[in-house]
Amino acid sequence: MNAFFKFFLIVVPLATVGLVANAQTPGALAPGAPMMQHERMDPAKMQERMAKHQEELKVKLNLSAAQANAWTTVVAAMQPPADMAAPMNPENRKKMREEMASLTTPERIDRMSARAAQRSAELAKRAAAVKNFYWVLNHDQQKIFDAETLRHFPGIGKPGHPG
């Protein structure tokens, strides 16, 4: 199993649990902790940025006509899920907190587990699409793809990094 897949197998469930736990305890910061409240990026800007990166990668890969279908498939698979397209506004956050507060602990755990399973299934779908695309590339294109996707993992490949 490669490091990329291991990373997601570990981080996605942990991030999901962390996000849900954070949503249940609004404003619970340690005394003296800096206020690191970040607004979610505008979905339209995020889509625009992703499209730009995809187009740059497509140009660098110099895909043949025979590879165009695989490219279209992988780009479609990389689109964010519909539930992530809408920004989480304060009203929606409040509603989610109230809903979670009305549940028992086992029900909250089940809800978090279901969400983690959903995200895991989304990751598996994306991973399969990327792998299928990767094997359509020739050796030189694979090297370019490897280098370009490595940029998303700061520190990996640098001396002293454990991954």
Q: Tell me the pLDDT tens digit for each residue of 32-58.
A: 444 455 556 677 788 888 889 899 999
Mean pLDDT of the chain: 77
Does the pLDDT of residue 29 top 70, yes or no? no
Check residue 149 and give its pLDDT.
Answer: 85
**Assign residue 160 a region: left if phi > 0, alpha if psi is -120 to 50, beta otherwise?**
left
Q: What is the pTM of this model?
A: 0.61
Does the pLDDT of residue 67 top 90, yes or no? yes
Q: Return d(Cα 74, Cα 134) in angstroms, integer.
A: 9
Per-residue pLDDT of 98-138, as tens digits, reads: 999 999 999 999 999 999 999 999 999 999 999 999 999 99
Cα 36 to chain centroid distance, Å, stands at 21
Give CA separation, 91 vs 27, 50, 87, 107, 141, in Å.
15, 28, 11, 22, 46
